[in-house]
Structure 1
Amino acid sequence: MSAIHDLIAQVTDPRLRERLAAEWASASKEKKFGLVFEDHLPERLPLPKTRPRRGDLVCRRAGPLKDVWRVLRVRDGIATCIRPGSEPHSTQTNPPATETVDLAVDELLVVREFGEPIFPSLVPVDAVQNGDPAGPWHVLIEADNYHALQLLDYLYAGRVDCIYIDPPYNTGARDWKYNNDYVDANDQWRHSKWLAFMEKRLKLAKRLLKADTGVLIVTIDEHEVHHLGMLLERLFPDWARQTVTVVINAKGVAQGRFARAEEYALYCFAPGAGTVPHHDDLLNPEREGKRFTTPRWEWLLRGGTNSRREDRPGLFYPIFVEPETRRITGVGEPLPLPQVPDLTAHAPRSVAWPIRTDGSWGNWRVGPNSLRALIDQGFVKLGGYDEQRGTWTVLYLGEKARRQIEEGAIEVVARDAATGAVEVRYTEREQRFPKTVWHRPLHDSGIYGSALLKSILGEGGRFSFPKSLYSTRDAVAAVVRDRPQALILDFFAGSGTTLHAVNLLNAADGGRRRCILVTNNEVSAEEAEAMRARGLQPGDDEWEAQGICRSVTWPRSKYTILGRRDDGSVLEGEYLTGKTVERDKPRRFRHIDFIDPAALTTAAKKQLVALIDGLPQTLVTEPCPHIVSEDHTVSVLFDPAAADDWLQALEGQAHISALVIVAPTKRQFDQLKAQVNELLGPLKVTEEEKRPMREGFAANLAYFKLDFLDPERVSLRRAFREILPLLWLKAGAVGPRPELRRNEPEPALFAPEGSNFVVLLDETRMGRLLQAISGRTGLSHVFIVTDADESFKTMAQEVRDAAGRGNPGLQVVQLYRDYLLNFMINQGGAK
């Protein structure tokens, strides 16, 4: 027996001894070594705008949240209250006398204690629509996140792909509250309170994630990272866990010792979840060079030597084109040398001839039969129509690229339905998994967090330590890049970075991922003090307007979706999408005319090369009329007399971006420059695609405030209007949200046009329901209001039979029983 058991045995009061023994037994059973913390007082939530009713828990507005009373009755503006736990029970014949107190209703604040049964509803506040009205909607919920999680458990239990949260870091800087009081560095229980606070929420969060493929991401810094890791080990024992170090400020923040430059992202992976390979591993330098860009499509028009028609007469033939679809429809036979093609014999732009940049006749790189075979394989496509030459630019995959396809270095990922041309990429770009250390300039929280937020909201965009948009995007994309329909939740939404990041990810890859944000509407400690000095208090309109959700989260989300602010001013700047694109870029040419080519000795050539960035002198090995290297992007022509050999060596070297030409005259330099451009075509540069912020995003967002319903109204089935938004969310938040107008009576059957759910409020009208869903498609949910369990089973089967195959996966839900039971059970959900 341990010392604690000896001490308990010495307690003389039997009831106290029994309670102590039970508490110790519970603690020793549930608390593992290494992570012991107090559960603390139950968390409580003040509701400043709610009028006290019988049964409510209340405190004085000017008093502490922990000093609570239970309302027995309300009469003439006076509430008669009693201490919780001493209420008389209806089963008692002669209940003992209890102390009551009469308090003015206006001086009371209604309190919800975490763990009490709640009956939530969502009150619509605002909405912004900039995407397909029939498409999915993001959701912003202004609420305490604990009760919001209880609500979401009813709506989306086991359906969330990824939860990303950035909780309070508990630095001691009064950045979060426990029971309505700021927790600062002087609170000796602050770590314990933080763990109790997080445990309640993470338990609910786990129930929301998909059991097989869900992923939890929690960002944190050094103040709680180790405590959090142990808590996650306790709550997610069967899930894989990894910690990612993210450099968020490469300069570092001086703290008297080491300058801190990082924070952490703790990942918990369900058994079937993992990360998605990407071309960027977020640590090592981006791989450069032609092997890691999009494979090169070469000009079919020959350049350099043997590029005139008379040099290769058998390669002068027409290629027929369908201009509207840009499809190659056929390949003609070579035209004998004496004949001149009739450029007016075919419809405009319907034929391509090998015409050089100077307007003279040229030739193609391959013969007609070979070209036909390449077209069948999808290895030929049209470029642009060149007005100056009066013909199309024709592109093809050269011999090297085709060999790399056979070897697996290049893969075919798609084929254009209209033209038949393939889309190709280097497989090496897809073989990199994100590392556990991330070091990217885009993750800087100052530039792409605070400064970005300020550029969107102006001076009103003050918010402490917003995340970098791109670090949040990369954190979420690492696990949902291959899930275009993913559901993502952030219940510490703060400034709304997560929704912003999801919209950016969707815009880059065409995904339809949906995001749910939850945040309270608290004001900072400094703002609260200033407003109290002016006589304002929580619940006042001016106070609420300064809260996080209404002054930061909502406007940021709205403005970035629309690409403009409420005053009509557009958002300036560009996003980096994370998607690479190819762009044409002119090659750089440098004319060296102050040296006589005949006077260039080996030593002089090396001296010249020493002046060129990117070229080593070791490349000068005599005889050396020119330098062309597959390992370097600069080429040098020392002797214009060797131009033909130089051009032949340049053929296919598309990676060459800079060329130095030694030529005595500008005319000779210009001729060589034109030949190089004709030979190599435009330089293809792979760079990150940018998206103007003013374009906004094709997205929809609904904004709600969490409210609580009177249980009696729910049990009497009188709350349909209030819970209607919940039914829309439960059905996937797809399409316009249907509403029941305030003065409109509740119908027997609610079946709005275009909605994916139907509600039967009067079970005697079952025939109308079956008629309404017969032949209808796209339904996901049917809600039936009934208390008769056996009848519900029968009706549910009739509904499925009537819905037929046009509504696969249809769910039939029993209201209000389903709603009531869920929240009655939920009262112990996170203890």
Structure 2
Amino acid sequence: MIAQAKSKDPKLGADLDREFKVLSARLSFGLNFERHSPEAVELPQRPIRKGDKVRVLPERGSTKRGDQRLWQVKAIHKAKQVADLELPGAVKAETQSVALDDLVVVAEFRDTIYPGLVSTGKVQRGGDKPFHTVINGENYHVLKALTYTHRGMVDAIYIDPPYNTGAKDWKYNNDYVEKDDLYRHSKWLAMMERRLMAAKELLNPDDSVLIATIDEKEYLRLGLLMEQVLPEARIRMISTQINPKGVGVSEGFKRVDEYIFIARFGAQDVTPSASPLLGSKPIDAAERDSEDSEEDAPKKIGLDWQTARRRDLQSVRRTRPAQFYPVYVNEATGLIEAVGDPIPHEQDRHTVAKRPGCVAVFPVREDGTEMNWSVTVPTFIDRWKKGFARSGKQQFGKPQPYIIQYLKSGPIADIEEGRAIVEGYRADGSVIAYYEELGAKAPPTQWNLRSHNAEHYGTKTLRALLPDRKFPFPKSIYAVEDVLRLFVANKPEAIILDFFSGSGTTAHAVMRLNRRDAGRRQCISVTNNEVAATEQDELRSKGLRPGDAEWEQMGICDHITKPRVEAAITGKAPDGQPIKGDYKFTDEFPMAEGFEENAEFFTLTYETPVSVSHNLACARIAPLLWLRAGACGKRIDKLPTDGWAVADAYGLLTEVDMATPFVKAVKKVDGLRIAYIVTDDDRRFQAIAKRLPEGVEPVRLYESYLTNFSFANGE
């Protein structure tokens, strides 16, 4: 082409040749990929409006893809429930009329969105604690909405993104990316880059962490992408064993591990642990570097012996008949001599068979409430014989004359697998063991813990919570808990975000962290409501399509994420039955106890500029104001008739002429964090802001609301 240009116009040809050589000499360094756009998402539950971009759905009962072209709605005939469509950009005008039921709204990457949230339920057991939130929506759109509520406020992000294995495990442009797609990797990178850039705005730049798990398919590309998108972060990669038996076979190898990228910002550091949280068998003293300083020498940390009596009031006698039995303690030696059989719930414990020289010890609180032991008779006897159970301090004059102690399965596993060192045995046969804490040394970069087995503590844990419901490859709850603990252990009010939430493991792990130290951490979980690929054909064959209630109830968020979070808190499966099984390792207790936590579930909505400008979407915007104020306490869901309203954590002033009573009310509320002031007049906003008490953040909302809650999707 340059040669042809030279033959017709030598000067123009020479100029083009020179510019081409300059451009071709420039080499881009780093990760290069096609930034595919527009990325599009179907919104099956969004009402059809004039001006919308839509797709025409395939006929009911068909498993075909249908028309993938984007049409624009030119008119809607409500009486006939029909829309007139036009194909934008077509060389030759093409129009058609289609039933509204056969259309689905599509939001493209470059479209401006006006997000809102609709509450779809809540569960409350945590008193005044902040609410965990689960948001059903396209995660990029939710991330953009969170830039209003949580910009620079997030302490930790944990994500388990699609691994791009070629399986039908994620969607792009409303079609699956197949194994033979030449652009599979760049499409995945484009998807990840957009979300990481949005997520970066949410992290606290002074002290936060982003954690991402991945396997061998994309770990190299993800590492480079994170270096490019997060240049200010200190990035480290960990390898972790997730299934010692191996998963699948690739290139002749079974995969037993995967990778964790950890990107730390600002002052974020790794929290030291007083137990061998990560790693395998401790290094033998002879193997240790002889030049180690005395300060770095190992310190002995004793094992944590637990009281064998249940503490929660959900575990009173009669709830577990097999766990109310006598432990016979010799009154002369103070040692356990025997363990009796469980007694019927109607039998008075004082009538149990006597044993010469012994007292029968039952699990009884000081107020006389009969409880249960933490384990059954066979388990207790097994631990006692191995030195993992013992009698403790004598309690004179109390209903339970001796404290009975035992080791939980976590410390026992550490002893059996060499992470805890056995030093000897006491006179009562109980084990004397300890951990070696290597001072301030960082955890290893290879993790190999039984508790991180995804099959046993991911899949099986989810099955206990949601019997008969399946989700592919959920993470071990203990693996997520352990890695988060390294960064939020000293942040009891941390905000943790997971925008590839899937089965809800992250929220569940945060609840366990809170239980350990009475923390008030809150988790924001974001996931879509896609139906698994294996189930879509079956639903379509029944005449169902996205948007139908029967279809939507099988989506990830409604079928897995929300029920899992609710089940974890209440301790009950969706059928109302108590969850079977116990939590293990760092904190053992029955799953049926649940957690003292709060959670609310939302669906992302797409508002119109007209509804937003006329305040018709106030109820949809209210949750965003509540989230920004900390997601705790009451919410102001309607425009206040008095021109102002005050909730537990924030206040809303919609009529600036009512500023005086508003400011008085704000001053009376302890812990109020934000005052939202609706006005287009900057001077009046500043004047009211100056009257607010110290510690209350003034936030301006424009009267139209349009400027506050619109986000260019893909700027």
CA contact (8 A) 1:456 1:559 kept: yes
Partners of 1:250 and 1:749 in 2: how far apart? 62
Instruction: Give the 3 Å change call, closer, same or farther, for CA 8–125 of structure 1 in structure 2.
Output: farther
Q: Which position in structure 2 is the counterpart of 1:238?
A: 232
CA contact (8 A) 1:750 1:760 kept: yes
Shift of 1:106: 3.3
Greater gyration radius? 1
Select which of 572, 596, 605 maps to 1:707.
605
Residues 1:756 and 2:670 are matched in the alignment? no
Instruction: Flag structure 2 segments of 5+ consecutive residues without an equivalent.
Output: 10-14, 59-64, 285-297, 306-332, 334-365, 367-391, 404-433
Residues 1:131 and 2:25 are matched in the alignment? no
Q: Which position in structure 1 is the counterpart of 2:340?
A: none
Query: Which structure 2 residues correspond to residues 474-513 of structure 1 after superposition, within 5 A?
Result: 474-513=482-521
Residues 1:75 and 2:77 are matched in the alignment? yes
CA contact (8 A) 1:720 1:746 kept: no
Select which of 431, 435, 439 maps to 2:448.
439
Q: Look up the SS of the partner of 1:459 in the other structure.
A: coil
Query: Which structure 2 residues correspond to residues 309-708 of structure 1 after superposition, within 5 A?
Result: 383-386=393-396, 428=437, 431-460=440-469, 462-576=470-584, 578=586, 689-708=587-606
What TM-score do the two structures reach when normalised by structure 1? 0.64
Residues 1:114 and 2:109 are matched in the alignment? yes
CA contact (8 A) 2:130 2:598 kept: yes
Instruction: Give the 3 Å change call, closer, same or farther, for CA 471–55 of structure 1 in structure 2.
Output: same
CA contact (8 A) 2:277 2:482 kept: no
Shift of 1:97: 11
| Bigger mean CA deviation after superposition, 278-287 or 717-726 | 278-287
CA contact (8 A) 1:281 1:435 kept: no
Instruction: Give the 3 Å change call, closer, same or farther, for CA 392–527 of structure 1 in structure 2.
Output: closer
**Structure 1 residues 744-777: Cα deviation after superposition (integer angstroms, max 9, x where no partner):** x752334255x21111122222223123223332
CA contact (8 A) 1:57 1:110 kept: yes
Residues 1:727 and 2:621 are matched in the alignment? no
Residue type of the alignment partner of 2:55: C
| Bigger mean CA deviation after superposition, 714-723 or 149-158 | 714-723
CA contact (8 A) 1:49 1:539 kept: yes
Residue type of the alignment partner of 1:194: W
Partners of 1:290 and 1:384 in 2: how far apart? 30
Q: Which has the higher helix share?
A: 1
Partners of 2:241 and 2:543 in 1: how far apart? 43
**Structure 1 residues 18-48: Cα deviation after superposition (integer angstroms, max 9, x where no partner):** 99x999999999x943422112231111111
Shift of 1:722: 1.8
Shift of 1:156: 0.1
Residues 1:780 and 2:673 are matched in the alignment? yes
Instruction: Give the 3 Å change call, closer, same or farther, for CA 391–464 of structure 1 in structure 2.
Output: closer
Q: Look up the SS of the partner of 2:546 in the other structure.
A: coil
Partners of 1:27 and 1:156 in 2: how far apart? 43
Select which of 39, 44, 47 maps to 2:43.
47
Q: Which position in structure 2 is the counterpart of 1:212?
A: 206
Partners of 1:505 and 1:11 in 2: how far apart? 74
CA contact (8 A) 1:485 1:512 kept: yes
CA contact (8 A) 2:646 2:666 kept: no
**Structure 1 residues 398-432: Cα deviation after superposition (integer angstroms, max 9, x where no partner):** xxxxxxxxxxxxxxxxxxxxxxxxxxx99947645
Q: Which position in structure 1 is the counterpart of 2:281?
A: 285
CA root-mean-square deviation: 3.8
Select which of 173, 177, 192 maps to 2:167.
173
Partners of 1:784 and 1:176 in 2: how far apart? 41
Query: Which structure 2 residues correspond to residues 84-233 of structure 1 after superposition, within 5 A?
Result: 84=88, 101-132=96-127, 134-233=128-227
Residues 1:811 and 2:694 are matched in the alignment? no
CA contact (8 A) 2:649 2:674 kept: yes
Partners of 2:39 and 2:134 in 1: how far apart? 23
Partners of 1:385 and 1:163 in 2: how far apart? 47
Partners of 2:402 and 2:581 in 1: how far apart? 36
CA contact (8 A) 2:300 2:436 kept: no
Q: Look up the SS of the partner of 2:461 in the other structure.
A: helix
The answer to which structure, 1 or 2, has the higher relative contact order (CA under 8 A, 6+ apart) is 2
Partners of 1:487 and 1:250 in 2: how far apart? 33
Shift of 1:150: 0.8
Residue type of the alignment partner of 2:489: R
Instruction: Give the 3 Å change call, closer, same or farther, for CA 392–699 of structure 1 in structure 2.
Output: closer
**Structure 1 residues 142-169: Cα deviation after superposition (integer angstroms, max 9, x where no partner):** 1110111011111100000000000100
Q: Look up the SS of the partner of 1:141 in the other structure.
A: strand
Select which of 659, 683, 700 maps to 1:766.
659
Residues 1:271 and 2:260 are matched in the alignment? no
CA contact (8 A) 1:124 1:703 kept: yes
**Structure 1 residues 597-634: Cα deviation after superposition (integer angstroms, max 9, x where no partner):** xxxxxxxxxxxxxxxxxxxxxxxxxxxxxxxxxxxxxx
Aligned residues: 576
Partners of 1:11 and 1:147 in 2: how far apart? 51
Query: Which structure 2 residues correspond to residues 246-265 of structure 1 after superposition, within 5 A?
Result: 246-253=240-247, 254-255=249-250, 257-265=252-260
Partners of 2:450 and 2:435 in 1: how far apart? 25
Percent identity of paired positions between Structure 1 and Structure 2: 39
Shift of 1:216: 0.7
